[in-house]
Amino acid sequence: MAKERWSSKLGIILAVAGSAIGLGNFLRFPVQAANNGGGAFMVPYFVAILLVGLPLMWIEWTIGRFGGGFGHSTAPGIFQTLWNKNKFIKYFGVIGIFGPILIFVYYIYIESWLLGYSVFAIMGKYNSCTNQEAMASFLHAYQGLIKNEFFSSIGPAYFFFLITFLINVGIICLGISKGIEKVCEYALPVLFVFAVILLIRVLTLGTPDALKPDNNVINGLGFMWNPDWSALKSAKVWVAATGQIFYTLSVGIGVILTYASYLKKQDDVALSGLSAAATNEFAEVIFGGSIVITAAFVFFGAAGTKAIASGGAFNLGFITMPLVLQKVAFGNIFGFLWFMLLFLAGVTSSISLAQPSVAFLEDEFNFTKKKASGIFAIVTFVLCQPVIFFLGRGVLDELDFWSVSVCLIVFATVEAILFAWVFGMEKAWAQLHVGSDIRIPKIYRFIIKYVTPMFLLGMMGFWFWQDWRDIISMKNVPAENRPYILATRLGLLALFGLLSYLVWHSWRKRSQKVMAGDAY
């Protein structure tokens, strides 16, 4: 069975950018920046891009293309290819399948809320919600956490979940060039058009309340971008900035590695990786940093915006922005643009999260695209149910913690060490520049070999030293939620064990074929 390929260089750049451009750009980034020193946050943010983000982006593009040349599109096979003398390294690669599955099963449910809210905006369903308490009540009833005059059951949310799930599975079934690439080629331009329209509308808001002249766009931008330099003394700000880089660039998950495996040997990875990262950063810093917080400041002032930012990304996206957009002319249309923008960003990210699992089944078990996609759909559909029905019990937050805060850092650390120290910096640097249209500054040889791995090891060590006891003991989990969290953790262990067994089984079959004279 011939290996799939991207149809164009632009296609792969847009696909990787689409994977990176997601809810984190428009919701998580402004909250993180506003809560961590405003403009000062951008100092550790750009340091993290240069020392961790770009190096990991280039590492994943390079080892993905390299492993793809040996018929592997996922981390277990690619890690084994990089260190073929170590028969255990492939099990570390399981994280590159396990992590994306965890993110997919909760991310797609949040994504479905955006589709639902797009419809609600056009219908004017939440127009009667004129304050944050009412809008929060609308959201919680939609999620099935409470019942009120808006929703008496979780039925509407489940309906939009089914539609969103089917859209994702349909795209995945179409494959790399006909599915993922085509969707990203159309979705990203539409997304950027919607973002430009919303940005122009926000920047032309003026001063809605004549009695509060300080609540204007200029001061709103200042709230986001004026630096509080004292914040740089806090380690928390540096950790938050680095975490945002991981989150926004989709590095350390295993997705870019899989996408890059569909490149040809001479396809450029240096410039393509840089272009994909730059596209994502433009969306995050320009649009994500200017739309939401600025709009909130104009209508709610400095004190209100601080409270909103501290309330988290969900409050910002599903409570504050609908209230803000209701206050402008044609608010329902702008509300639709906002939620559809986020939905498109969500789709281009979620389809990327599915690809490592589908590719693993195709490569290691010779399943057809349709069969692999079908198995992935059945498994993840079942795994989505606890997220949906036990949302109020902390299941979603638990999956988010283990997938993003743990799997991402561990996986990134392993691949950075493999690339620079096991594969070897000489070979790694040469592979990075095969077919390249640019020469990466030589300083990055030092950064990739020493700085990036040490940075990652430091972060991992800091987390273990500070947090692991409280996390394992569920110290901060309410007593009534602990049985659900424990069941979730046992389920995660079972899933990781199953994936490890599948890796073991596929390599055992390959070894048997080799011993029988049927060379792989």
Q: pLDDT digit string (tens) for 77-105?
A: 999 999 988 889 999 999 999 999 999 99
**In the prediction, which pLDDT does 399 show?**
93
DSSP 3-state percent helix, strand, coil across the chain (nearest 5): 80, 0, 20
Which domains does the chain carry?
Answer: 9-387+402-459 (1.10.4160)
**In the prediction, which pLDDT does 5 show?**
86
Map residue 359 onto helix, strand or coil.
Answer: helix
Map residue 276 onto helix, strand or coil.
Answer: helix
**In the prediction, which pLDDT does 211 show?**
63
**In the prediction, which pLDDT does 207 show?**
79
Q: Which residues contact 300 (CB under 8 A, 6 or more apart)?
A: 215, 308, 320
Neighbour-count burial of 464, counting CB atoms closer than 10 A to its CB (0-12 exposed, 13-18 middle, 19+ buried): exposed
Q: Which residues in the chain show pLDDT less than 70? A: 1-2, 209-211, 463, 466-467, 514-520
**In the prediction, which pLDDT does 520 show?**
43
* Helices within 283-330 (DSSP H only): 292-310, 313-315, 321-326
Cβ atoms of 387 and 112 closer than 8 Å: no
DSSP 187-256: HHHHHHHHHHHHHHHHHT---S-TT-TT-SHHHHHHHHHSB-GGGGG-HHHHHHHHHHHHHHHTTTSSHH
Cβ atoms of 176 and 18 closer than 8 Å: no
User: How many angstroms separate the Cα of 473 from the Cα of each of 326, 400, 489, 497?
Assistant: 44, 18, 12, 22
Name the pTM for this structure: 0.92
DSSP 380-401: HHHHHHHHHHTGGGTHHHHHHI
